[in-house]
Structure 1
Amino acid sequence: MVKKKLSKLFILVTTIVMTTSIFAGCSKPAPANTNPGTSAAKDEQSVVYNLGAENDTYDPGLATTVGSATVVNQVFEGLMRLNDKNQPELAAAEKVDFDSNNPTKYVFHIRKDAKWSDGQPVKAKDYEYAWKRVLDPAVASGYATQLYYLKNGAAFNGKQAKIDDVGVKAKDDNTLEVELENPTPYFLQLCTLATLMPVRQDIVEKDKDKWATKPETYVGNGPFKVTAYTPDKEMQFVKNDNYWNKAQVKLDKMKFVMIVQQSSALSAFETGEVDYLDSIPSNDVPRLTKEGKVVSLPYIGTYYISLNNKKPGLDNPKVRKALSLAIDRQVLIDKVWQDPRKPATSFVPYGFPDSDSSKQFRDVGGDMLPAKGDVEKAKQLLAEAGFPDGKGFPQVEYAYNNDETHKKIAQAVQDMWKKNLGIEVKLNEVEWKVFTPQRRAGNYFIARDGWIGDYMHPMTMLDIFVTKDGNNHPQYSNPKYDALILGAKKEKDPIKSMQMLHDAEKILIDEDSAMIPVAFYVSNVACKPYVKGVRKTPVGMMYFDRAYVEGKAAAK
């Protein structure tokens, strides 16, 4: 009975999915009951992945970047996970009770063989503690909004309710009862995210600030565990022998290196020091694609430029719109990225369904910005704001994290603003682990930014801009926008709910120009042919639990 209900729910949750799995340059994983072939038996089951820049945290409850989530995904496991069709499937939970007549209640049954990497059993209270910890205002998680769907989640985070009022309760060691504020058709997708993964209270409370930085205390319930960590250099993993599904894990060990410069990372890939790479120098993408070494995968997100709405000059929507219209997005794609990505003519990218699942949200919403810009309109708006030809405009700084492509984009945009508007902008390259908290805190004027969807619904792109959201880097605030987002979450009619999101996006981009959408992402990846079964989803999640090595020894 439960399986039947769940299958219907999965269809409701994932109204549009990629029908084929995304195995980034690698072949599909071996079937569950298959061992790697004769050649693979001689191969060391070990892969090296370039994580890129060091992240500011690897704490599941605090992680907000793709890089930090990539690490968390190897060490921890949620109640659900994404399968090879990017639909949620059972993971640490062995069963979910759901009644469509009571769509705000879920009961998760934790696997009795689920264990932490130190051998202790995973309990329902570990999820209750983790979720309430994310919502605790004292913790200040940038992703607390992902748990606002829980009954009284937002109220507790806003100090308007008690922790015991939050709609998640461990009924016993293996039963987790969840109550939502409103029906949320994509809730099971949320249960795959790093934010909703469990953490152990006894470990976290002993060393709240550093527990996630030391292998001996970075205890997880996922397929791998960390054995060594050298900040800014590498992280080493081994198979977690206490993982409930360890029979499916073929790799004995992995290494994530942290090579920031794309050209250096590519050299390491070409010499065989790195097996999997998903940050490629833009100048090399056309050549490597032609040679069959790089493929461009769907990646549902938007590269944008954050404008701090509270800074002088940038607090005027006419200025923000002028800066946006002065950019030729197509030139940036043609001259810098040189790949199949599309110019971002609004914020929500392609890939999300509308209320009519045969149509995409982006197609229904249409273009709100010209791909090639509108310099004359930009000049007019800047003059109307009191800065004709850039005269009197305050000195501003464009910050970006140290990456060769980000640097090229920043330089090109700097030139466009100087040439088209007469505005001088200073560039500032910042180390990623410093850049991330600065941007989150609003300690900048203009900053390189980007957002990858967490689940297959446009809400994942738009709710980050509600007032005081932890990921609202532009410090944007508009009560009308907030009301539309909240209304869309509460509205039971999917057509009315989706229209609210369209209306909200129009306010965000067309009216307020809260930030500058630049381009819709693609993911350019390179994977060694002997590495099989690595999976990267359209929302950026990396899975190595079904990966294996086959043919490397024979190729030498």
Structure 2
Amino acid sequence: MMVLCKNFSGKAKPEEIGVKATDDKTLVVQLENPTPFFLELTAFYSYFPVNAKVAAAHPDWAKDAGPNYTSNGPFKLAAWEHKNKLVLEKNEHYWDADTVKLTKIEMNIINDANTELSMLENGDLDWAGAPTGNLPLDAMQTLKEKGLLEITPKAGTYWYEFNTEQKPFNNKQIRQAFAYAISRQDIVDNVTQGGELVATAVVPPTMFAENGQGLFKDNDVEKAKQLLAEGMKEEGYASVDKLPPITLSCNTEEAQAKIAQAVQDMWQKNLGVQVKLENQEWNVYYENVKNGKFQVARMGWTGDFNDPINFLEIFRTKEGNNHTRWESKAYADLLAQSSKEKDAAKRKAILQEAEKLLVDEMPVIPFYFKSTVYAKNPRLKDVVISGLGHAQYKWAYFE
């Protein structure tokens, strides 16, 4: 935890907010508790500086390119054709401008993965896929065989979320049964095909290396059947066909539909349950998830900064990004304890204990740890993909 301001209403006194500039190039931040990931936070978008004079004079400065749009990175926003294209140009005022080799980057907004790949193959694009787009799943194997598929591990986890306030997923054992009855290896091998690592934990192994081995067994069908029987007995369901109708929701994207179809088949085969698929356009879909209008829904998280708390704090309370409605005082207490622990090894142990509690309660089903998957013009060199999946073009050039 840290204190940057006492409230967000603008009524706190300057001396109360814990932040001050001691000179033109020094910012001092007073923290309330030990915060080992604080330096990571300074590279997170929410902490990027904004020109106060521009923001005061032009409150909507960030909505369009133009003379009021301010940039402090290696590139500046030169043009923005909404829903069509962004144009970045080299920022001559950047502190390390001599290192930047590219003079312009055009970023086309393309909503179809097949179109995106076709444009790459035709020489109309130099980059297709993540982090700014998607590749068609059907092309993955061919791209691998041609040696064109690039895969970089990313600090992110793909998962399904249960609405724990809706039957039958108010029952922990039934949630566990549905989680154990999935073959994640089949999904990453045959559906996503992007070099993802099977996940049976929530925090990616870039943060907890041990999680590469997971916290439970993948595709444990016998255990799943046992847990389902025990959960149904607790809830008074005489047989599988007496369970409430089950709907699995996802947004309209090729990969999401194919994963959902694979999971539907696994639940049918391994548990004998009937599952209806519900597919919605992203804005409608996410609004329903936020408002609790779902039973099981696809979601996930990619790290904002490189620390396990960024994944675990999602489930601290029912608020914010915790769409599952699950809550645990013991879990919240562990996270609070970790925020005051100065010893790094002890803090890690506390957070791992919290994660074990979370995975045992199973408000989410972890599927796989994400990767950044893309194809590019072989002449394009030195685009750096960060561990959080961001593309950095500062050092990029064409050979």
The answer to whether 1:486 aligns with 2:336 is yes
Amino acid at match of 2:217: P
Q: Deviations over 1:195-229 (max 9, x none)?
A: 11112344445665x54321134422222222322
The aligned counterpart of 1:330 is: 185
Match of 2:219 among 365, 372, 376: 372
Cα offset for 1:435?
A: 4.5
Secondary structure of the residue that 2:250 maps to in structure 1?
strand
Q: 1:499 and 1:205, CA in 2 relative to 1: closer, same or farther beyond 3 A?
A: same
TM-score (norm 2): 0.87
- 1:174-323 alignment runs, 5 A limit: 174-204=25-55, 210-216=60-66, 217-277=68-128, 278=130, 279-323=134-178
Q: 1:446 and 1:228, CA in 2 relative to 1: closer, same or farther beyond 3 A?
A: farther
Task: State how far apart, in whole Å, the 1-side matches of 2:230 and 2:22 are.
Answer: 59
Cα offset for 1:273?
A: 1.7
Amino acid at match of 1:513: M
- 1:534-549 alignment runs, 5 A limit: 534-549=383-398
Task: State how far apart, in whole Å, the 2-side matches of 1:324 and 1:202 are.
Answer: 52
Task: State how far apart, in whole Å, the 2-side matches of 1:228 and 1:311 are.
Answer: 47
Of residues 226-235 and 485-494 in structure 1, the stretch that sits farther from structure 2 once superposed is 226-235
Q: 1:454 and 1:335, CA in 2 relative to 1: closer, same or farther beyond 3 A?
A: same
Question: Are the aligned partners of 1:152 and 1:181 in contact in 2 as well (CA < 8 Å)?
Answer: no
Cα offset for 1:289?
A: 1.4
Cα offset for 1:447?
A: 2.1
The aligned counterpart of 1:553 is: none
Q: Which runs of 5+ in 2 are unaligned?
A: none
Amino acid at match of 1:524: V
TM-score (norm 1): 0.64
Secondary structure of the residue that 1:490 maps to in structure 2?
coil
Task: State how far apart, in whole Å, the 2-side matches of 1:303 and 1:477 are.
Answer: 20
The aligned counterpart of 1:351 is: 206
Secondary structure of the residue that 2:339 maps to in structure 1?
helix
Task: State how far apart, in whole Å, the 2-side matches of 1:163 and 1:273 are.
Answer: 54
Task: State how far apart, in whole Å, the 2-side matches of 1:280 and 1:266 are.
Answer: 7
The aligned counterpart of 1:518 is: 367
Amino acid at match of 1:522: S
Task: State how far apart, in whole Å, the 1-side matches of 2:81 and 2:268 are.
Answer: 42
The answer to whether 1:341 aligns with 2:233 is no
Q: Deviations over 1:373-403 (max 9, x none)?
A: 3241343244133445444444454332332
Q: Deviations over 1:60-85 (max 9, x none)?
A: xxxxxxxxxxxxxxxxxxxxxxxxxx
Percent sequence identity over aligned pairs:
32
Cα offset for 1:536?
A: 0.5
Cα offset for 1:491?
A: 0.6
Of residues 249-258 and 369-378 in structure 1, the stretch that sits farther from structure 2 once superposed is 369-378
Question: Are the aligned partners of 1:234 and 1:256 in contact in 2 as well (CA < 8 Å)?
Answer: yes
Q: 1:162 and 1:425, CA in 2 relative to 1: closer, same or farther beyond 3 A?
A: farther
Question: Are the aligned partners of 2:260 and 2:277 in contact in 1 as well (CA < 8 Å)?
Answer: no
Task: State how far apart, in whole Å, the 2-side matches of 1:215 and 1:442 are.
Answer: 37
Match of 2:377 among 528, 548, 553: 528
Aligned residues: 388
Q: 1:430 and 1:449, CA in 2 relative to 1: closer, same or farther beyond 3 A?
A: same
The aligned counterpart of 1:94 is: none
Amino acid at match of 1:231: H
Amino acid at match of 1:531: L
Task: State how far apart, in whole Å, the 2-side matches of 1:205 and 1:440 are.
Answer: 32
- 1:117-128 alignment runs, 5 A limit: none
Root mean square deviation of aligned Cα: 2.7
Task: State how far apart, in whole Å, the 2-side matches of 1:472 and 1:528 are.
Answer: 39
Cα offset for 1:259?
A: 2.0
Q: Deviations over 1:448-473 (max 9, x none)?
A: 21222334432232222211553323
